[in-house]
């Protein structure tokens, strides 16, 4: 991943189905989120909470700064 990007989302597709989303943040590969509603990963460096939200004909990938006590997923 080029260093100028703070975060990167690699969406994996197998036979036209999304299988997962690999998240990189602050230069660290955090892992892969399953393509299910409210899946999430938290960056240990900056605390950003990356989540996937599925809706009926689209999905969102969001970043939220973690709030103390609310950062468990
Ligand atoms: Zn980060």
Q: Would residue 30 count as lying in a domain? A: yes
Asked whether residue 73 is domain-assigned, the answer is: no
Say how many C-beta atoms besides its own lie within 10 A of residue 22's C-beta: 15
> pLDDT tens digit string along 58-68?
999 999 986 56
Residue 39 lies in a domain: yes
pLDDT in tens, 3-19: 667 899 999 999 999 99
Domain of residue 60 covers: 7-65
Determine the distance separating the centroid of ligand 1 and the alpha carbon of 7, expressed in angstroms.
7
Assess if residue 71 is contained within a domain: no
Phi, psi (rounded to 5 degrees) for 63: -115, 135
On the question of pLDDT at 52 being above 60, the answer is yes
Q: Measured in angstroms, how far is the CA atom of residue 29 from the centroid of ligand 1?
A: 10
11 CA → ligand 1 middle, Å: 18
pTM of the predicted model as reported, rounded to 2 decimal places: 0.81
Handedness of CA 72, 33, 30, 66 (dihedral sign): negative
Q: Does a structural domain hold residue 35?
A: yes
Start-to-end CA distance of the chain, whole Å, equals: 26
Confirm whether 1 is domain-assigned.
no
- Whether the predicted pLDDT of 1 surpasses 80: no
Q: Tell me how far the alpha carbon of residue 43 lies from the centroid of ligand 1, in angstroms.
A: 5
Using the structure block, give the residue that is written with the tokens 């004909």. Answer: 57
Quick check: is 29 in a domain? yes
The mean per-residue pLDDT over the stretch 22-51 comes to 96
């Amino acid at each position: 991943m080029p260093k100028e990007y703070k975060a990167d989302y690699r969406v994996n597709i197998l036979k036209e189905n999304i299988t997962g989303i690999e998240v990189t943040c602050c230069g660290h590969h955090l892992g892969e989120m399953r393509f299910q509603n409210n899946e999430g990963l938290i960056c240990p460096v900056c605390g950003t909470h990356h989540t996937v939200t599925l809706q009926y004909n689209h999905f969102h990938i969001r970043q939220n700064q973690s709030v103390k006590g609310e950062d468990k997923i």
